[in-house]
């Protein structure tokens, strides 16, 4: 090709490129113009919307509550929203449990603890289209203040605790906004076991629940469990106070292992070591020796057992009882069993809402008990197990499977979920347990069971310093470390006995649950120290 030909081709290429560039620029300019036009239109629409929104003062995000003012406003509890309040205009504060927009209306479920109510925001005289849209977009779990008229419904709202009424919303303000993404969904947390598997819906495993415990505790089931647990403590206290007991507080940092075993947490204590109390045992007894006669305490108990089972925790709440008796330790058993029966009656009579709420997610048979409480001797229990084909020695302790089997056998024979097993072998009990007066292979000790699982361990205590010293030596306990304890029996001590109850186990077994972590608010086990 000639020199002129090459030059001509290059010019054509440049012209083509410049045309392409021009087109590109034109396209970009058109795009920018369209974008600007769209933004202008949106701004205009927004302005028109703001001008048209007659309800703009009836909804929104409230300023953070910093106690700058105190409104003269009565907030009604969701639980109190019944037919008696029909046609009343009320204010309520609750969480957004669910929301569902449908055309010109939005259905909300407002939740407060274990109670919930349906609310309706609908376009009309009191609510604009924008207000409905705002309500539909509030993040789940946000806390809102709602002004609404209580209306009777024609058909019961089965999905809510307040089934006879709904709220017709006139104002709605967000008090505290939740983040849009929740670590777990509350409806998944309360789904009955097995139900999610059938239709592919999610259920939440135990670790995920515990890692996000604050949200898990908001579920109706958790709310019911821990309100019932509070009831157990209240009934325990009230019953014992009525029996003339004194509530005491005992130290949790001690100089020697309470139970004389190895399952104890050691803590640094200045220039020496101390232990976390495995039981308030020694101090309860000291109080009896100090003439308090009948004492109880409610407090944490620590066990350094590497047991990763459904019923073991490294820290749990102990409900402990100790009392002097006149002539026979069965006086103590009767006092404790009567206390337990009063608790069971109180739960049955005052906590039906909570029992039924838990039962929806975790169905179980109602808890059965007898008056007076069934008391079997250890040898009778062993005989029942042997009849059922279990091979075990006379002085062998009950294994967990054998405890459960015995519970089932007792239920079949006596129709009770609560019973006492008395006269345990001495070899399997702590050093301070009083030996049986007629057969020193056995002891004046007992366990109490609910649905085949132990909830209390107790005994007549040795109240003689000499015998106590002999038993401590037999158990290889350093006498120097328990000197103060033994010395408290040298100056006259009444015969006495008692027991320790695990609060979380009582709640778990009463409700027929399968894991003690469900009844421990922030459980501690060998693998969990948080939250």
Catalytic positions are: 303, 305, 311-312, 454, 457, 505
Q: Provide the token pair at 413.
A: 């024979």
Q: Provide the token pair at 170.
A: 């006139």
Q: How many helices (H) and strands (E) does the chain have?
A: 15, 17
Is the bond preceding 147 in cis, omega lying within 30 degrees of 0? Answer: no
Q: SS3 of 71, please?
A: coil
Backbone angles phi, psi at 465, to 5 degrees: -60, -40
Chain centre distance of CA 524: 13
464 burial class (0-12, 13-18, 19+ CB within 10 angstroms)?
middle
DSSP code, position 54: T
Backbone angles phi, psi at 267, to 5 degrees: -125, 150
Backbone angles phi, psi at 386, to 5 degrees: -65, -40
Q: Provide the token pair at 53.
A: 């929104």
Q: SS3 of 79, please?
A: helix
| Cα–Cα dist 342/240, whole Å | 10
Q: Which candidate, 147, 131, 137, places its Cα nearest to that of 93?
A: 147
Q: SS3 of 391, please?
A: coil
Q: How open is the CA angle 47-51-54, to the nearest 5 degrees?
A: 140
Query: Distance between the two ends of the chain, CA-based, in angstroms?
Result: 83
- Between the alpha carbon of residue 468 and those of residues 7, 445, 472, 490, 492, the distances in Å are 117, 16, 6, 11, 14
| Cα–Cα dist 313/307, whole Å | 8
42 burial class (0-12, 13-18, 19+ CB within 10 angstroms)?
exposed
| Cα–Cα dist 309/316, whole Å | 14
Q: Provide the token pair at 146.
A: 């709602």
Contact 498, 432 (CB under 8 A): no
Q: Which candidate, 463, 471, 461, 470, places its Cα nearest to that of 487?
A: 463
Beta bridge partners of residue 453, listed in sequence order: 450
């Amino acid at each position: 090709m000639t020199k002129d030909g090459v030059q001509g081709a290059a010019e054509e290429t440049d012209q083509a490129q410049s045309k392409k560039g021009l087109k590109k620029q034109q396209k970009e300019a058109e795009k920018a113009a369209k974008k600007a036009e769209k933004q202008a239109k949106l701004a205009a629409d927004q302005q028109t919307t703001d001008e048209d929104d007659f309800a703009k003062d009836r909804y929104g995000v409230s300023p953070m509550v910093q106690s700058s003012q105190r409104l003269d406003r009565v907030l009604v509890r969701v639980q109190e929203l019944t037919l008696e309040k029909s046609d009343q205009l009320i204010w309520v504060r609750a969480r957004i449990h669910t929301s569902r927009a449908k055309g010109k209306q939005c259905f909300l479920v407002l939740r407060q603890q274990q109670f919930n109510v349906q609310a309706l925001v609908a376009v009309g005289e009191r609510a604009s289209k924008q207000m409905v849209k705002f309500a539909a977009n509030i993040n789940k779990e946000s806390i809102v203040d709602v002004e609404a008229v209580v209306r009777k419904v024609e058909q019961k709202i089965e999905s809510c605790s307040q089934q006879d009424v709904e709220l017709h919303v006139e104002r709605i303000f967000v008090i505290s906004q939740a983040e849009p993404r929740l670590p777990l969904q509350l409806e998944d947390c309360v789904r009955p076991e097995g139900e999610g598997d059938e239709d592919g819906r999610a259920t939440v495993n135990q670790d995920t629940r515990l890692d996000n415990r604050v949200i898990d505790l908001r579920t109706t089931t958790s709310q019911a469990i821990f309100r019932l647990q509070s009831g157990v403590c209240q009934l325990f206290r009230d019953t014992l106070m009525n029996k003339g007991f004194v509530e005491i507080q005992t130290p949790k940092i001690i100089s020697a292992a309470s139970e004389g075993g190895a399952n104890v947490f050691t803590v640094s204590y200045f220039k020496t070591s101390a232990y976390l109390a495995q039981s308030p045992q020694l101090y309860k007894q000291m109080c009896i020796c100090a003439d308090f006669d009948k004492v109880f305490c409610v407090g944490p108990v620590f066990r350094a057992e590497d047991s990763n089972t459904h019923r073991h925790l490294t820290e749990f709440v102990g409900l402990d009882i100790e009392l002097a008796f006149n002539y026979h330790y069965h006086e103590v058993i009767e006092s404790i069993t009567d206390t337990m029966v009063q608790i069971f009656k109180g739960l049955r009579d005052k906590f039906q809402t909570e029992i039924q709420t838990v039962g929806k997610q975790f169905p179980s048979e109602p808890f059965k008990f007898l008056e007076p409480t069934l008391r079997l001797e250890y040898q009778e229990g062993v005989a029942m197990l042997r009849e059922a084909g279990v091979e075990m020695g006379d002085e062998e302790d009950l294994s967990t499977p054998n405890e459960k089997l015995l519970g089932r056998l007792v239920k079949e024979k006596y129709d009770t979920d609560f019973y006492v097993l008395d006269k345990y072998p001495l070899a399997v009990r702590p050093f301070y347990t009083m030996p049986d007066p007629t057969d020193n292979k056995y002891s004046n000790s007992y366990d109490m069971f609910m649905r085949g699982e132990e909830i209390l361990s107790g005994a007549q205590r040795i109240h003689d310093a000499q015998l106590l010293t002999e038993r401590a030596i037999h158990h290889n306990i350093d006498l120097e470390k328990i000197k103060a304890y033994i010395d408290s029996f040298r100056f006259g001590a009444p015969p006495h006995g008692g027991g320790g109850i695990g609060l979380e186990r009582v709640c778990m077994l009463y409700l027929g649950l399968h894991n003690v972590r469900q009844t421990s608010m922030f459980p501690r086990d060998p693998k969990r120290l948080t939250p």
